[in-house]
């Protein structure tokens, strides 16, 4: 491996096929990439910029294997695996047995395999560069390599709320850049031609709680250990039940755990109360409460978001998303663990009731009655969704017909293939037409992520929200902190999805799977918690305090220049209290796209960013 002087940019890598035709791409990357790993043939294989601790590299003969990310594999283990390889497909066993979250990249007798995670937390994208296909973990790297510009119709798609519509959820906004589906890997043959290969499918949800809870505990413990082993100090979020589990596991083997809890402005928020009970029972935990006045309100810093992330995300929430990471860094932590991903995996999708109604109708009827009472579902809507047997593609096509209608009521049952998203009222007619076209084209061939509707929704949510977790990880790295989100690890996801839905989804208990899994790990004073605090009360004050910055954002709007929004209409919305019928997330999506376009423009014109970036 060769190394030149690093540049202050986010970590990235690009992967080249083992052929002479890839040399022009290697030449174009040479000045951007401080690090390079070669194929056994001597041709450039992996180029980029990554932390030294993230890489494990092994090889034997004409085979090489690299892991990049958060893992515990050693060079010796990878070399041993490389010596036994008889083709890229033989790496499935290594992929299925590796804890943590990492990219697996292999050069096997002249053929390249590149894969990320099943939740797409570690993404793989590819694009045509000259005569060959080049893979990368960042779409913007490929865009820079090919000279691609953002696709206006895909930017319009990002205005949808919520954008949880596989396969469109993970479609890069850059022209001619494609993302590999979660659970698939990319093969580059000796001529640089690409092919996606499916290597992972969700487990059948047949494991009873008695076996499933210990399996989840072991998988989550291994995921935490990957990030904490050998560290004298780590930090954790300590808020809800999911982060409490992670923090308690870290405290079992780490001498010093800095636990950070955000005190909410809402008097009903009880995170501090429960976190205090947890920390009092765990000797290794040093508890720090971040007072409400130190927590940025929503929309804080929107006028300063000029550092380009890979894609539009965290528009109105970026400063809030980093508050515990920044506090942990100030207290001396260089590794921080979050509970992100726990909601999607542990609460579970109520769409499992659609399948249970057909396999265990009497049992399902009892659950449906319980959830209907809990969430005040209208009886007619419940019966309509239960009777709807359309395949995923037909349901996705129908989404296009309702994009501009008022949002569904808050008590809409959750038994369909997904949420029914809406475009904001400031979207232009041309943008609406573009989004409808994308949806209808995708619906013709879109397979579900799983045969069971509930598992599909769970994986769809993980793939959507993991984008936020990945960007928090990137932003944390810029301030010198390795951020980890163990619930997005493949082994943890598998353990959770394998448990029978009738055991983990109930209206009468809150997240029963993690409650049972953490028996003997989370202090009993906290394990039985049945509440979840939210920060909704920070929305209206944030809009009031940062109204001037928001109004200024729509002056000479880049989205308006592209014909995607009516800037005057969104200014009118920002000039007064937000209509509760819209929902607060709908404005975040538009802010994310607007600030991202401005950041990309600043980068293209060579204007320096105001935020300093550092790598560990």
- pLDDT per residue over 362-386, tens digit each? 999 999 999 999 999 999 999 999 9
Q: Which residues, listed in sequence order, are joined to residue 287 by a DSSP beta bridge?
A: 259
H or E stretch at 596: helix 585-604
Cα radius of gyration (the chain): 24
Placement of tokens 């260089």 in the chain: 334
E-strand spans in 265-322?
285-290
Kindly state whether residue 173 falls inside one of the protein's structural domains.
yes
The residue among 216, 242, 161, 162 whose CA lies nearest residue 533 is 242
% pLDDT > 70, the chain: 95
CB atoms near residue 32 (< 10 Å) = 16
| Farthest-apart Cα atoms in the chain, separation | 67
Query: Residues 209, 212, 213, CA angle at the centre, nearest 5°?
Result: 80
Q: What is the mean pLDDT of residues 379-398?
A: 96
Distance CA 228, CA 235 (A): 9
Average pLDDT of the chain to the nearest whole number: 91
Kindly state whether residue 310 falls inside one of the protein's structural domains.
no
Q: Which residues, listed in sequence order, are joined to residue 57 by a DSSP beta bridge?
A: 66
Q: What is the mean pLDDT of residues 5-31?
A: 82
Cα distances (angstroms) measured from residue 91 to each of 47, 101, 298? 22, 16, 44
CB 278 within 8 A of CB 551: no
Find all residues with CB under 8 Å of 162, minimum gap 6, and list them: 419, 421, 464, 585
Q: Which domain holds residue 13?
A: 2-198
**DSSP string covering 22-73:** GHHHHHHHHTT-SEEEE-TTSSEEEEEE--GGGEEEEEETTEEEEEEEE---
pLDDT by residue (tens digit) across 459-507? 999 999 999 999 999 999 989 999 999 999 999 999 999 999 999 999 9
Residue 175 maps to which CATH number?
Answer: 3.60.20.10
Kindly state whether residue 359 falls inside one of the protein's structural domains.
no
pLDDT by residue (tens digit) across 407-455? 999 899 999 999 999 999 999 999 999 999 999 999 999 999 999 999 9
CB 219 within 8 A of CB 494: yes
pLDDT classification of 10: cutoffs 50, 70, 90 = low
- Cis peptide bond upstream of 162, omega within 30: yes
Q: In this model, does residue 121 exceed pLDDT 60?
A: yes
pLDDT by residue (tens digit) across 189-212? 999 999 999 999 999 999 999 999
pLDDT classification of 37: cutoffs 50, 70, 90 = very high
Q: In this model, does residue 4 exceed pLDDT 60?
A: no
pLDDT classification of 616: cutoffs 50, 70, 90 = very low
Cα distances (angstroms) measured from residue 530 to each of 212, 213, 274, 525? 21, 18, 11, 12
**DSSP string covering 433-487:** HHHHHHHHHHHTT---SSSSHHHHHHHHHHHHHHHHHHHHHHHHHHBT-EEE-GG
Kindly state whether residue 81 falls inside one of the protein's structural domains.
yes
Distance CA 107, CA 59 (A): 9
Q: Which residue has the higher pLDDT, 133 or 53?
A: 133
Kindly state whether residue 426 falls inside one of the protein's structural domains.
no
Total-model pTM? 0.93
Q: In this model, does residue 305 exceed pLDDT 90?
A: no
Lookup: tokens for 437? 């076209």
What is the DSSP secondary structure assignment for residue 104, as one 8-state letter? E
Lookup: tokens for 483? 């951020």
Query: Residues 125, 127, 133, CA angle at the centre, nearest 5°?
Result: 105
Lookup: tokens for 310? 């890979």
E-strand spans in 500-616?
none
Kindly state whether residue 71 falls inside one of the protein's structural domains.
yes
Kindly state whether residue 286 falls inside one of the protein's structural domains.
no
Lookup: tokens for 48? 């980029």
What sign has the CA pseudo-torsion 359, 363, 369, 375? negative
CB 614 within 8 A of CB 481: no
Kindly provide the b/e burial profile for residues 167-196, where b requires at least 16 CB atoms within 10 angstroms of the residue's own CB: bbbbbbbbbebbbbbbbbbbbbbeebebee
Q: Which residues, listed in sequence order, are joined to residue 197 by a DSSP beta bridge?
A: 185
SS3 content of the chain, % helix, strand, coil (to 5): 45, 15, 40
Structural domains in the chain (count) = 1
H or E stretch at 188: strand 184-188
Q: Would you state the pLDDT for residue 377?
A: 96
CB atoms near residue 597 (< 10 Å) = 21
Q: Would you state the pLDDT for residue 190?
A: 95
Kindly state whether residue 476 falls inside one of the protein's structural domains.
no
Q: In this model, does residue 606 exceed pLDDT 90?
A: no
Distance CA 75, CA 56 (A): 6
Distance CA 171, CA 61 (A): 37
pLDDT classification of 605: cutoffs 50, 70, 90 = low
Q: In this model, does residue 248 exceed pLDDT 90?
A: yes
């Amino acid at each position: 491996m060769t190394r030149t002087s690093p540049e202050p940019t986010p970590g990235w890598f690009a992967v080249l096929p083992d052929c002479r035709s890839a040399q022009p791409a290697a030449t174009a990357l040479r000045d951007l990439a401080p690090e390079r790993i070669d194929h056994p043939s001597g041709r450039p294989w992996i180029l980029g910029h990554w932390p030294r601790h993230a890489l494990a590299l092994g090889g034997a003969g004409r085979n090489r294997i690299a892991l990049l990310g958060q893992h515990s594999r050693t060079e010796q283990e990878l070399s041993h695996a490389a010596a036994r390889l008889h083709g890229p497909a033989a790496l499935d066993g290594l992929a299925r047995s590796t804890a943590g979250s990492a990219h697996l990249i292999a050069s096997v007798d002249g053929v390249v395999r590149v894969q990320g995670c099943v939740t797409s937390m570690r993404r793989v994208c590819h694009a045509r560069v000259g005569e060959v296909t080049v893979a990368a973990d960042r779409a913007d790297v490929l865009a820079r390599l090919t000279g691609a510009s953002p696709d206006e119709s895909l930017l319009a798609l990002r205005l949808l709320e919520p954008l949880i519509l596989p396969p469109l959820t993970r479609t890069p906004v850059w022209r001619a850049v494609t993302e590999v589906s979660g659970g698939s890997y990319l093969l580059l043959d000796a001529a640089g031609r690409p092919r996606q290969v499916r290597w992972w499918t969700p487990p059948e949800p047949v494991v009873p709680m008695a076996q499933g809870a210990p399996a989840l505990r072991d998988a989550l413990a291994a995921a935490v250990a990957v990030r904490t082993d050998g560290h004298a100090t780590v930090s954790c979020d300590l808020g809800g039940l999911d982060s409490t589990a992670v923090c308690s596991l870290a405290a079992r083997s780490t001498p010093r755990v800095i636990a950070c809890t955000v005190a909410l402005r809402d008097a009903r928020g009880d995170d501090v109360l429960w976190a205090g009970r947890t920390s009092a029972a765990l000797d290794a935990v040093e508890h720090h409460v971040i007072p409400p006045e130190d927590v940025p309100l929503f929309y804080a810093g929107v006028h300063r978001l000029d550092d380009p992330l890979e894609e539009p995300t965290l528009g109105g929430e970026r400063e809030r998303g980093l508050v515990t990471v920044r506090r942990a860094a100030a207290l001396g932590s260089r590794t921080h663990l979050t509970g992100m991903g726990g909601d999607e995996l542990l609460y579970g999708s109520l769409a499992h009731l659609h399948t249970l109604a057909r396999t265990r109708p009497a049992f399902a009827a009892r659950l449906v009655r319980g959830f209907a009472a809990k969430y005040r579902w209208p009886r007619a809507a419940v019966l309509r969704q239960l009777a709807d047997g359309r395949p995923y593609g037909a349901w996705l096509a129908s989404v296009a017909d309702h994009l501009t209608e008022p949002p569904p009521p808050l008590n809409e049952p959750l038994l369909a293939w997904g949420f029914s998203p809406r475009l904001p009222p400031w979207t232009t007619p041309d943008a609406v037409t573009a989004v409808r076209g994308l949806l209808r084209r995708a619906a013709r061939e879109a397979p579900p992520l799983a045969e069971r509707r509930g598992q599909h929704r769970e994986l769809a949510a993980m793939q959507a929200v993991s984008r936020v977790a990945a960007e928090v990880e990137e932003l944390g790295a810029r301030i010198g902190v390795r951020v980890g989100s163990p619930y997005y690890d493949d082994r943890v996801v598998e353990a959770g999805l394998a448990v029978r839905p009738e055991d983990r989804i109930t209206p009468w208990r809150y997240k029963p799977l993690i409650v049972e899994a953490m028996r003997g790990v989370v202090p009993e004073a906290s394990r039985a918690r049945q509440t979840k605090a939210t920060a909704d009360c920070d929305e209206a004050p944030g809009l009031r305090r940062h109204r001037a910055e928001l109004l200024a954002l729509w002056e000479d709007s880049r989205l308006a220049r592209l014909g995607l929004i009516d800037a005057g209409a969104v200014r009118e919305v920002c000039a007064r209290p937000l209509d509760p019928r819209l929902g607060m997330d709908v404005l975040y999506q538009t802010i994310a796209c607007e600030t991202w376009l401005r950041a990309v423009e600043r980068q293209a014109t060579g204007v320096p960013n105001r935020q300093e970036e550092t790598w560990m």
